Structure 1
């Protein structure tokens, strides 16, 4: 399809176009998630640049990291792509523990309010009590599409892949939509090796792109088509979801149930780990505490 026609179709997309209508959903929420510095904000800027045809490149979403390597994005920042499509720059992580993993699921499940600071809860029981007593965001009208951003300039080590596979499948269970894997910085190295690793994890949609940036804003057909293709696939997933009977309230209850179950299981695992560690000989404890290199990737 011609890129101009593809852009037109994306901008004209409506949730009411399907045979069953919108079924109570009011907007598509493209949920970006992943590690700090892998290109979530740059992807947002690229999408805005392409859809706002004729306008100069602008950094709508701030890019880069803090001086200590942390994430600039500390909120669930939203950016309107069209009247029916909003893209979300969720808070990323440098390293991710069981606690932080629960917080990522909470963001993907839309339990953190949009455009508000995201504070990691360092205690599972604190997070569970908040979810049980009061939803931070009671919005049930957003249809969620998870998009995982990963830069091919980072090595994906074998010991990380299994945990990452479980993590991504849990994200699908949380949202009801299989995650779209977007590999950024495709020309920095051979992206086909990283793509293969994600496909071996069972990920069906893996697309490599180069983002537009302030210093690289010359539009090319390849860059533009790749990025529009991601948005097209996301909307095809939405159309498929809406071809099936759906209940936004029920979907949210299912997401909440999944998150509470995950937190409960993590609490049990954490307590078992504490008991095992307490019974370890001192030499084993010292060995366990030694840091290990993970070549720029984190254990999810």
Structure 2
């Protein structure tokens, strides 16, 4: 498929194209996730640069080539009247509650345009989810996209995190996340691609983003970036061939979040009890030793 056809497919995409119509969806939401500094914002800038046809490169999403991300607010960037990209807050190393916040973004339980703050307790997270019931969003068709820089060597722990993330994406959205490998020319992307495929990734696409310093459009670079969006839309078309209920799906996402947060709370309580038990045992041993010392002196 050539560039012109890819662009036409994206620009002319409609949720009403299938036999069953839109089924209540009004927008395709391409949700970007990943660790900080891996190129999510740059990917958004590249997509807009290509699709809007501007000759001058513009930074719509603030980005920089470091390992420390800038995105704190969950920002949306329309690509067409139907397709919007969301730059979600990344994280450097996830703990349990940060993982829950990632899923809250994925499930649209954090409003677009709102600052994402890592919460550290069960009550705060439950309250935040309940607050979204004031204006529930169920009309976005969510497609998750996970962005990873090939400049980084992915650890076994990170790979397990990503594997779990992919599985939970399917549970929450019905769609396997598209894996986008950034900085294609600055690492061995084929090795990283193989690692992702070994944990079950269905679609892995390596790209080189356009930047302020490197913005001369080339055939391969442009095609790779467009293929990511085209792959996302093919997932949407496939899922819309089956009966869907956006309201019911949002309820199921909410159930997933409640259960996920509840399990975190239970785990933390178990860990707390283990620590308290260990401290009691240490204190008991200490007292026993003190008694023995007193007996010896007598």
TM value normalised by structure 1? 0.89
1:81 is aligned to 79
1:52 is aligned to 52
- Note the C-alpha offset of 1:169: 1.1
2:13 is aligned to 13
1:298 is aligned to none
Q: What SS class does the counterpart of residue 112 from structure 1 fall into? A: coil
Higher helix share: 2
Distance in 1 of aligned mates of 2:137 and 2:131: 16
- Note the C-alpha offset of 1:55: 3.2
Distance in 2 of aligned mates of 1:121 and 1:84: 32
Alignment map for 1:168-207 (pairs within 5 Å): 168-207=166-205
Structure 1 regions of 5+ residues with no counterpart?
A: 285-300
- Note the C-alpha offset of 1:141: 0.8
- Note the C-alpha offset of 1:136: 6.5
Distance in 1 of aligned mates of 2:274 and 2:65: 37
Paired residues of 2:57 and 2:215 also in contact (CA < 8 A): yes
2:264 is aligned to 266
Alignment map for 1:1-300 (pairs within 5 Å): 1-64=1-64, 70-132=68-130, 134-135=132-133, 137-280=135-278
Paired residues of 1:146 and 1:180 also in contact (CA < 8 A): yes
- Note the C-alpha offset of 1:276: 1.9
1:291 is aligned to none
* Structure with bigger gyration radius: 2
Paired residues of 2:103 and 2:257 also in contact (CA < 8 A): yes
Distance in 1 of aligned mates of 2:147 and 2:156: 18
- Note the C-alpha offset of 1:65: 7.8
Offset from partner CA, 1:44-79 (integer Å, 9 cap, x none): 00000110114311000000389xx65311111000
Structure 1 window deviating more from structure 2 (169-178 vs 109-118): it is: 169-178
Paired residues of 1:30 and 1:146 also in contact (CA < 8 A): yes
In structure 2, the CA distance between the partners of 1:251 and 1:62, relative to structure 1 (3 Å rule), is: same
- Note the C-alpha offset of 1:129: 3.2
In structure 2, the CA distance between the partners of 1:136 and 1:119, relative to structure 1 (3 Å rule), is: farther
TM value normalised by structure 2? 0.90
- Note the C-alpha offset of 1:134: 4.8
Distance in 2 of aligned mates of 1:65 and 1:225: 22
1:288 is aligned to none
Q: What SS class does the counterpart of residue 16 from structure 1 fall into? A: coil
Distance in 1 of aligned mates of 2:143 and 2:134: 20
Q: How many residues align?
A: 281
Structure 2 regions of 5+ residues with no counterpart?
A: 283-298
In structure 2, the CA distance between the partners of 1:113 and 1:134, relative to structure 1 (3 Å rule), is: closer
- Note the C-alpha offset of 1:164: 2.3
